Amino acid sequence: MHVLVTGGAGYIGSMLVPALLARGWQVTVLDTFTAGDAFLANCCIDANFTPVRGDCRDLRVLGPLMKDADIVIPLAALVGAPLCARDECGARSLNQDAVVTLVKLAGAGQLIAYPATDAGYGVGEGNAPCTEESPRRPVSLYGRTKVAAEEAVLGHPNSLSFRLATVFGMAPRMRLDLLVNDFCWRAVNDRAVVLFEADFRRNYIHIRDVVKAFLHGIDNATAMRQQAYNVGLSEANLSKAQLCERIAHHVPGFVWLEAPVGEDPDKRDYIVSNAKLEATGWRADHGLDRGITELIKGYKMLRNGRFANV
């Protein structure tokens, strides 16, 4: 099995690529490796690992790599509402246009496993959980580009889309700007956080369970293909204030305040049902409290904020 992963040196890729290699598969990672960090250094000993420095928007690079792939996982993206707002052209070209091009290049027998986002739901319908059939109402450029890309992917006959909840957990290529990771960082280092729209809700998922979802989808592609699946912790449809309460159980003295002025640029507010994916036999292994404990340990080793997209 030959897998092509674009953007494979990022947060999810730094956990997913080793898991793919552990199966004995050939894995090619196409990434700009802009940061110059060796997040996949431990993979270099594996004869089945091939890193390629390049941009997935460059057809001269992407085209030849696509020809050899049985599975394509397009992770390359500008992730998060603030980052996309800062670089609108980059967000559209990387998050949307590059994926549309990749789908056009893919043969009918190649499986495309796409990391979408539940940010596409935007604002939900009160206490009614968003299912895969719920309206898509993205409230940010990030959400809009990912929704458009997912539509292109699901137009391919051999495709899967995973609508990821807000991911958390330690990884070689950390992200400190994701909500759980961010709040835990502030709890450990500042003992305080200021909340905007404290009652806005989201769903959350551990990065190791994201990897598990991709492997599960690949293993069951025949039954699951050409469909979208929410990937989140059913126990963790929480508001920002509720998330802080959970963190406070692990970090004594942690306090949070709701800001009297200002607003969050990412105004998502919804709860999500993960029943469709769970019905296929997938289950999350890492709960929110376990992830918080992991992050507290990890932050004893991290001393700066360079692992962030904002």
Q: Tens digit of pLDDT per residue, the chain (310 long)? A: 999 999 999 999 999 999 999 999 999 999 999 877 889 999 999 999 999 999 999 999 999 999 999 999 999 999 999 999 999 999 999 999 999 999 999 999 999 999 999 999 999 888 999 999 999 999 999 999 999 999 999 999 999 999 999 999 999 999 999 999 999 999 999 999 999 999 999 999 999 999 999 999 999 999 999 999 999 999 999 999 999 999 999 999 999 999 887 777 777 899 999 999 999 999 999 999 999 999 999 999 987 667 777 6
And the tokens for 16?
Answer: 């997913």
Residue 80 lies in a domain: yes
Beta strand pairing status for 2-6 and 227-231?
unpaired
And the tokens for 172?
Answer: 């070689």
Looking at residue 187, its pLDDT comes to: 97
CATH code, 61: 3.40.50.720
Residue 302 lies in a domain: no
Residue 126 lies in a domain: yes
Looking at residue 265, its pLDDT comes to: 74
d(CA 155, CA 40): 32
Residue 123 lies in a domain: yes
Residue 62 lies in a domain: yes
Looking at residue 36, its pLDDT comes to: 77
Angle made by CA atoms 185, 144, 206, in degrees to the nearest 5: 35
Residue 281 lies in a domain: yes
Number of domains in the chain: 1
Q: Which residue has the tokens 């496993």?
A: 113
Domain of 26 in residue numbering reads as 2-169+205-232+272-285
Which distant-in-sequence residues (6+ apart) come within 8 Å of 138 by Cβ?
119, 120, 121, 122, 144, 146, 147
Looking at residue 305, its pLDDT comes to: 63
Which distant-in-sequence residues (6+ apart) come within 8 Å of 69 by Cβ?
2, 3, 4, 28, 110
What three-state secondary structure class fits 265?
coil
Residue 193 lies in a domain: no
Residue 128 lies in a domain: yes
Q: pTM for this structure?
A: 0.96
